């Protein structure tokens, strides 16, 4: 229940000063206890001043603050006088071991709650004390009567008489359960981190700015061709780069920016072979944390893709030039053939030959249409080079409807506009006109047969896009079976309708040339909606 005055009177002066000064100096320096204790020491012992009321009060205060300190850090103190076999425990000793202070100190009770496998450690420490050996620190576990499992750290030392025999033992016992749990938790987290790091297919490492590796995962070991983590950890980071200067440049940029992302460099394996890696790093104080990914395959693939794109560009250019030559070179002889069939004297031709002549005339007309289609397609492909201009969309849409005036009036088609009168967009005028023309033509051509046919033209603008849409309540499209056919050249979904199947193909090509995209929504017998999204930039 208390700290016996024997600690202050009978124990050698220097031993008391060492023990109490260490405990209080470390734990209660900020509260001023150490200075109070030193004052009491100087007045009571060094100056040999007899005990007085003030000294007793200081002693009382000291014991109170020592008790408070023990409670704060869960440290209990004990003393064993081997001459009288008296044992003294501080209050915190009883609290830690959850023993009844009314029964007084009981070593047997204490031994009973120590884990069986840890009890020999406790017993050996007590024997070492009695034999005068220095016991620096021991740890053992206890299970209290309430079922709590605690970790105890114990220290102690002996005071010897003139015959070098221990006549007094004293020490401390600290409840370090919280520290152990934290340490265990940290160990588990560290273990999880290592498991996670080893399972990732990228190299993870930690090093200091000198280049000394502090941590590597298994993927890094394999990536650089080493046998084990230990072998790789012996290497300096500079040796991992094909050009050691790269490491220095990386550190310079890290010091300037604190973090680097997708930093490409060439690394060197232990066998001298190289690979292209992408490193992501950050620096904190004197340590560098990084991830390295082998992107050799990706770099090679991108190189091949780049070469393929260049080849395709050249081939496409050749094809366009060929198509241009064909279309223009055929125009002249084709025009001659069409002219000759018209001026040909049909009166002297037999009926059979007249029929053949009609077929020739029709073939030349069809060939002329095909060449015109080819020319129109080539014109679309030149769209990227055409000048963008500001387009007044409202009057353009009305001008387009003039082309369909007769069919709109004869079939009572209702055309709605959702376009502001001052609506403008910047694009290629001919392309926008053709897109609207073909979409409106498509909506009118595939109108419903019963009820009133409707066509709606809508325009809206966002921060990044122009959006044009044309929707109708016509016969619709079965997208499940025809989605991949809608924009093919000369593809007619309804063979009974007029047309050559070129309109939607040209719409698609116009939109592509403007770097836009086209969306289609349609259901049979419910209508269709074509939505054109064109980027402003």
CATH number of residue 118's parent domain: 3.30.450.20
pLDDT mean over 165-174: 83
Q: Give me the pLDDT at residue 26, please.
A: 38
Residue 86, number of CB atoms within 10 A of its CB: 13
DSSP 406-421: HHHHHHT-EEEEE--T
Query: Pick from 220, 229, 234, 202: which is nearest to 269 by CA?
Result: 220
Among 234, 267, 294, residue at a domain's last position: 294
Residue 144 lies in a domain: yes
pLDDT at 68: 67
Same domain, 432 and 342: no
The boundaries of the domain holding residue 229 are 200-294
Does 241 share its domain with 375? Answer: no
Residue 369 pLDDT > 70, yes or no?
Answer: no
Q: Check residue 274 and give its pLDDT.
A: 92
State how far the Cα of 361 lies from the Cα of 373, in Å rounded to an integer: 19
- State the SS3 of 141-174: EEECCCCCEEEEEEEEEEEECCCCCEEEEEEEEE
Q: Are residues 157 and 77 in the same domain?
A: yes
Same domain, yes or no: 376 and 393? no
Residue 190 lies in a domain: no
Asked whether 525 and 476 are in contact (CB, 8 A), the reply is: yes
Do residues 414 and 443 both lie within one domain? yes
**Structural contact between residues 47 and 6, judged by C-beta atoms closer than 8 angstroms:** no
Q: Are residues 145 and 17 in the same domain?
A: yes
Residue 321 CB neighbour total at 10 angstroms: 11
Q: Are strands 75-81 and 454-461 parallel, antiparallel or unpaired?
A: unpaired
Lowest mean pLDDT among 45-49, 94-98, 113-117, 427-431: 45-49
Give whichever of 25-34, 264-273, 493-502 has the largest mean pLDDT.
264-273
Say if residue 164 is in the same domain as residue 311.
no
Indicate whether 207 pLDDT > 70.
Answer: yes
**Does 243 share its domain with 309?**
no
- How many angstroms separate the CA atoms of 275 and 268, rounded? 7
In a domain, 192, yes or no: no
What is the model's pLDDT at position 531? 94
Q: Which of 47-56, 367-376, 479-488, 518-527 has the lowest mean pLDDT?
A: 47-56
- 282 inside domain: yes
* Model pLDDT for residues 221-239, shown as the tens digit of each residue: 999 999 998 999 999 988 8
Angle made by CA atoms 477, 480, 483, in degrees to the nearest 5: 65
417 in the same domain as 374: no
Burial class (CB in 10 A: 0-12, 13-18, 19+), 371: middle
How high is the pLDDT of residue 62?
65
Rounded to whole angstroms, how far apart are CA atoms 509 and 524? 25
Does residue 458 share a domain with residue 511?
A: yes
DSSP 266: E
Residue 221 resides in a domain: yes
Which tokens go with 475? Answer: 């016969």
Q: Clarify whether residues 469 and 527 are in a common domain.
A: yes
pLDDT given for residue 381 in this prediction: 56
- Mean of pLDDT values over 336-348: 73
Strand-pair category, 75-81 with 166-175: antiparallel
pLDDT-derived band at 213 (thresholds 50, 70, 90) equals very high
Handedness of CA 212, 217, 223, 225 (dihedral sign): positive
Same domain, 289 and 304: no
In this structure, the number of other CB atoms found within 10 A of the CB of residue 339 comes to 11
Note whether residue 61 is domain-resident: yes
Of 290, 291, 295, whose CA–CA distance to 266 is shortest? Answer: 295
Looking at the 3D structure of the chain, how many domains does it have? 4
Distances (CA, A) of 313 to 300, 308, 319, 513: 20, 8, 10, 15
């Amino acid at each position: 229940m208390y700290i016996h005055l024997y600690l202050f009177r009978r124990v050698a002066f220097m031993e008391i000063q060492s023990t109490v000064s260490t405990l209080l100096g470390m734990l209660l320096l900020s509260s001023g206890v150490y200075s109070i204790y030193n004052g009491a020491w100087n007045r009571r012992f060094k100056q040999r001043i007899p005990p007085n009321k003030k000294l007793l009060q200081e002693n009382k205060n000291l014991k109170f603050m020592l008790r408070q300190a023990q409670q704060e850090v869960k440290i209990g103190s004990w003393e064993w006088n081997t001459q009288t076999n008296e044992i003294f425990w501080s209050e915190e000793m009883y609290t830690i071991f959850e023993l009844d202070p009314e029964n007084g100190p009981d070593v047997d009770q204490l031994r009973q709650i120590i884990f069986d496998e840890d009890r020999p450690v406790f017993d050996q420490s007590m024997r070492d004390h009695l034999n005068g050996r220095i016991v620096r620190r021991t740890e053992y576990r206890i299970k209290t009567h309430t079922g709590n499992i605690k970790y105890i750290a114990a220290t102690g030392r002996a005071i010897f008489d003139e015959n070098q025999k221990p006549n007094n033992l004293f020490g401390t016992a600290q409840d370090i359960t919280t520290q152990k749990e934290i340490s265990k938790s940290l160990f588990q987290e560290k273990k999880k981190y290592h498991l996670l790091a080893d399972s990732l297919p990228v190299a993870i490492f930690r090093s200091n700015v000198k280049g000394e590796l502090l941590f590597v995962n298994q993927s890094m070991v394999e990536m650089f061709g080493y046998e084990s983590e230990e072998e790789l950890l012996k290497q300096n980071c500079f040796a991992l780069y094909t050009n050691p200067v790269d490491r220095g440049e990386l550190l310079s940029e890290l010091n300037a920016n604190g973090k680097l992302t997708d930093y490409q460099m060439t690394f060197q394996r232990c066998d001298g072979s190289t690979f292209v890696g992408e490193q992501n790093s950050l620096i904190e104080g004197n340590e560098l944390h990084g991830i390295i990914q082998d992107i050799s395959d990706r770099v090679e693939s991108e190189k091949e893709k780049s070469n393929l794109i260049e080849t395709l560009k050249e081939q496409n250019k050749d094809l366009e030039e060929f198509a241009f030559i064909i279309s223009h070179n055929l125009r002249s002889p084709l025009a001659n053939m069409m002219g000759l069939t018209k001026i040909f004297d049909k009166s002297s031709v037999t009926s059979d030959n007249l029929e053949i002549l009609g077929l020739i005339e029709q073939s030349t007309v069809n060939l002329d249409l095909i060449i015109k289609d080819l020319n129109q397609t080539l014109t679309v492909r030149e769209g990227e080079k055409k000048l963008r201009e500001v387009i007044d969309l409202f009057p353009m849409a009305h001008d387009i409807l003039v082309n369909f005036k007769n069919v709109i009036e004869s079939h009572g088609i209702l055309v709605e506009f959702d376009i502001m009168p001052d609506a403008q967009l910047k694009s290629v005028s001919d392309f926008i006109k053709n897109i609207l023309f073909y979409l409106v033509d498509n909506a009118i051509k595939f109108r419903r047969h019963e009820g009133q046919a409707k066509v709606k033209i809508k325009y809206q603008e966002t921060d990044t896009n122009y959006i044009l849409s044309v929707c109708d309540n016509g016969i619709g499209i079965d997208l499940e079976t025809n989605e991949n056919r809608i924009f093919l050249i000369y593809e007619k979904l309804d063979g009974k309708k007029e047309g050559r199947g070129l309109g939607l193909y040209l719409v698609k090509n116009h939109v592509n040339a403007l770097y836009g995209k086209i969306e289609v929504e349609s259901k049979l017998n419910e209508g269709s909606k074509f939505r054109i999204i064109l980027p402003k930039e």
